């Protein structure tokens, strides 16, 4: 059985996802994408998740359960800081169901990720946030996160990625 991690909230536990959670992970991804108005961009399938998360182990997932029911997740992976000479944790997605927000569950998940970062000797925990998500930005600043305003994210994908690979 997957180890359950107790939290400050007796009704809320965390656990690392297993292959049996792949349908749930996909549902949370779709729910998050819908909240972010990006559902049209979701092409991931259960098979892709199994391959990426459990066969190749390219990322890890934490499931949050409230009174035994899954209510949120965090998907993260390691990156590396050449300036620090240490790995970091990049939080790709954090999602808590709308009906469960305001209970401090997101902060508990972030706190657990910070604990993992320290245990694994990581120098950073970082993530992106959509510019329009003012409630999240306010929350992140309250916990001490600093926006990286002097950096711009660039992305190469689809045909551009293929063209770049061809040289």
Instruction: For the chain of 167 residues, list the mean pLDDT of each consecutive stretch of 10.
Output: 88 98 98 96 98 98 98 98 98 97 96 97 96 93 94 93 95
Instruction: Quote the percentage of the chain above a pLDDT of 70.
Output: 99
Measured between its terminal Cα atoms, the distance across the chain in Å is: 48
Which residue in 90, 95, 140, 154 is the catalytic one?
140
Tokens read off for 145? 């996160």
- Does this model's pTM top 0.75? My answer is yes
CATH superfamily of 4-166: Gcn5-related N-acetyltransferase (GNAT) (3.40.630.30)
Instruction: Quote the percentage of the chain above a pLDDT of 90.
Output: 98
Cβ pair 94, 108 in contact under 8 A: no
Reply yes or no on whether 35 is catalytic.
no
The 10s digit of each residue's pLDDT in 152-163 is 999 999 999 999
Residue 74 is predicted with a pLDDT of 98
Listed by start position, the domains of the chain span: 4-166
Tell me which DSSP letter residue 140 carries: H
CA 19, distance to chain mean position in Å, is 17
């Amino acid at each position: 059985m997957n180890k359950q991690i107790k939290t400050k909230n007796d009704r809320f536990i965390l656990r690392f996802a297993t292959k049996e959670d792949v349908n749930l992970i996909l549902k949370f991804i779709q729910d998050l994408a819908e909240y972010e108005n990006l559902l049209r961009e979701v092409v991931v399938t259960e098979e892709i998740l199994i391959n990426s998360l459990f066969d190749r182990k390219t990322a890890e997932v934490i499931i949050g359960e409230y009174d035994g029911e899954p209510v949120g997740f965090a998907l993260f992976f390691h990156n590396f800081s050449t300036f620090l000479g240490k790995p970091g944790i990049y939080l790709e997605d954090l999602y808590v169901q709308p009906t469960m927000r305001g209970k401090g569950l997101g902060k508990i998940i972030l706190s657990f990720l910070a604990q993992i970062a320290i245990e694994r000797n990581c120098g950073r925990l970082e993530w992106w946030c959509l510019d329009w998500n003012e409630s999240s930005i306010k929350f992140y600043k309250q916990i001490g996160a600093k926006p990286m305003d002097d950096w711009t994210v660039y992305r190469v994908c689809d045909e551009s990625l293929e063209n770049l690979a061809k040289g």
